[in-house]
Amino acid sequence: MLLDYYCTDHDIICCRACISNEHRLCQNVLPLELASKDVRKSALFNDVMEDMTHLITTLNALDNNRQSNLQSMEETKSAITKQIRAVKSKFLKQIDDLERELTTTLSSLQRKHEMEINKQKQEISQVLVNVIENKNEMDFLIDHGSKNQLFIFLRQQVTNIHSAEAKIQQIVSNSQEFDITFDEKKDGKLESFGSLSEFVQPCQVQYKPKKFQQAQIKAEPMKNIVGFEKDTELKLKICEEYAFRDVSVTDDNKLLFTNAASSDPKLYVYRDCKDYETEIVFSSAPHRVAVIPGTDRAVITLPYDKSIQFINTTTMTKDNTVNVGFTCLGIAAGRDRIYVGDTGGTIKTLDTNGIVLKTILHGLRCIDLIVYDDLQDQLIVRCYGKLLCIKVDGTLVYSKDVSGVAGVTLDRQRNIYFGGFETNNIQRMSTDGENCEEMLNKDNDIYRPYEMCFNEDFTKLFVINNCYTSVCVYKCKYL
């Protein structure tokens, strides 16, 4: 499965399956897009780059040292051989056997240490090649890779760097600089020419690992939203008919609004969640809109056409249309699945190309709205008078009685926020459906609220208000 999340409690990158199996109780699980934000400016990026450079420098120095030792031993052998021959010239009649013995011993010593040094050179070359390959791949990802790819690669390099450091420490501790000297026999006896001595000293190149700093400052525990403060109302275009049905936010912080007014069926786009940018016109009224996470695509339901329409959120142009075979209303999207609900209580699961994979027949009322909880891998469904939690295989987790039908959204901890169109308030419910509290009401200018969503960093809440005609912006208050 895709690595989609970063658990700050365990400092580990994980997938959706790991979240549900091993991190269900963790309070600080971030989407990978949020964890990898500004990764090129992070301490992780700088530490890995510095450590790679340090490793390459040390490995090159070690290789040069080993090569220099080989050359010095070769020169030593040549010098000693000349000494032996000088002695030989004094004792021509008695030196043949002694010369062969000493020369053989010298060659044996030479071969023994040469084999050790060459073995170490092979180990050095192997580590050096691996580090250079990782450095080249890092350079490529810096220029061409996505934030997710770079972040995942950096995390992998922590292990690779530790492994390289351990290998270098082993090589350094096992490396010795060998030398051979010849002691000429001074007493004139012909028992031998002299003796050969080995001198061993530690390698002059030493490796001191740089203290590995944790790449990314460990994220602080996620704080709970304790309340909201009215900020402003979104400035809308004048002289247009508005009947807002849905609001969603893209990964690059653009707000998308569907306008189902019969005379003006459009999707409005606001950059930075505040300034009007453009609009897309449809032949029939769009109802719901869902952004496909980690992509530049969104998908919209067109109930009168029994179809869904894909949108490119970078160019803000319409893409292909897919007929889903029923009057589709609610829609939600995960990274690899799209969930569409209809007026008869049916939910269809599609892939991100619009191909139907599975149909769930729940016999519910009209499924007006669906939200996908990626951490729990379940759907929050809003019908008239009901709020339901359903697993993606169709199993009902729980059902709650609520007032009328209105919007639903999730905060960072996956608490559920739902509107009361008839009660003029917005409530928050825990992810298990056990605890519920009122967060906004008439005192906060909430009147006939419908759909809502948070911005990309969960600092603001956008609420379609006043019977589908305006958009109120509320600042989130944290502890």
The stretch 339-367 carries a mean pLDDT of 89
pLDDT digits (tens, 9 = 90+) for 23-80: 777 777 877 777 777 778 777 788 888 888 888 988 898 899 889 889 988 998 999 8
pLDDT digits (tens, 9 = 90+) for 274-293: 999 999 999 899 999 999 99
Q: What percent of the chain has pLDDT over 90?
A: 45
Q: What is residue 145's predicted lDDT score, i.e. its pLDDT?
A: 87
Q: What is residue 215's predicted lDDT score, i.e. its pLDDT?
A: 40
The stretch 444-468 carries a mean pLDDT of 94
Domain ranges of the chain: 3-35, 39-202, 225-478
Q: Residue 402 above 70 pLDDT?
A: yes
Q: What is residue 198's predicted lDDT score, i.e. its pLDDT?
A: 77
Distance (Å, whole) CA 410 – CA 290: 13
pLDDT digits (tens, 9 = 90+) for 363-376: 677 999 999 998 88
Q: Residue 378 above 80 pLDDT?
A: yes
Q: Residue 240 above 90 pLDDT?
A: no
Q: Residue 476 above 80 pLDDT?
A: yes
Q: What is residue 269's predicted lDDT score, i.e. its pLDDT?
A: 95
Residue 341's pLDDT band, with cuts at 50, 70 and 90, is very high
The stretch 231-242 carries a mean pLDDT of 87
Six-digit token pair at 152? Answer: 């995942």
Distance (Å, whole) CA 207 – CA 127: 14
Q: What is residue 187's predicted lDDT score, i.e. its pLDDT?
A: 63
Kindly state the helix (H) or strand (E) to which residue 168 belongs, with its residue range. Answer: helix 147-174
The stretch 258-280 carries a mean pLDDT of 92
Q: What is residue 57's predicted lDDT score, i.e. its pLDDT?
A: 86
Q: Tell me which amino acid residue 29 is.
A: V
Q: Are 156 and 48 in contact (CB under 8 A)?
A: no
pLDDT digits (tens, 9 = 90+) for 198-233: 777 777 777 666 654 344 444 445 678 999 999 999
Q: What percent of the chain has pLDDT over 70?
A: 93
pLDDT digits (tens, 9 = 90+) for 93-127: 676 777 788 888 889 988 888 888 898 889 889 98
Residue 157's pLDDT band, with cuts at 50, 70 and 90, is confident
CA dihedral 60, 64, 70, 72 (to 10 degrees): -160
Q: Residue 149 above 70 pLDDT?
A: yes
Q: What is residue 211's predicted lDDT score, i.e. its pLDDT?
A: 52
Residue 328's pLDDT band, with cuts at 50, 70 and 90, is very high
CATH architecture of 225-478: 6 Propeller (2.120)
Q: What is residue 471's predicted lDDT score, i.e. its pLDDT?
A: 95
Six-digit token pair at 112? Answer: 């023994």
Q: What is residue 266's predicted lDDT score, i.e. its pLDDT?
A: 94
270-295 burial: b if 16+ Cβ within 10 Å, else e: beebeeeeeebebeebbbbbbbbbbe
Residue 18's pLDDT band, with cuts at 50, 70 and 90, is confident
Q: What is residue 41's predicted lDDT score, i.e. its pLDDT?
A: 77
HEC profile for 49-110?
HHHHHHHHHHHHHHHHHHHHHHHHHHHHHHHHHHHHHHHHHHCCCCHHHHHHHHHHHHHHHH
Q: Residue 181 above 60 pLDDT?
A: yes
Q: Residue 356 above 90 pLDDT?
A: yes
Kindly state the helix (H) or strand (E) to which residue 113 belongs, with its residue range. Answer: helix 95-144
Average pLDDT score, the chain: 87
The stretch 336-343 carries a mean pLDDT of 93
Model-level pTM?
0.60
> What DSSP state is assigned to residue 434?
-
In three-state secondary structure terms, 315 is coil
Helix count and strand count (H, E) for the chain:
5, 29
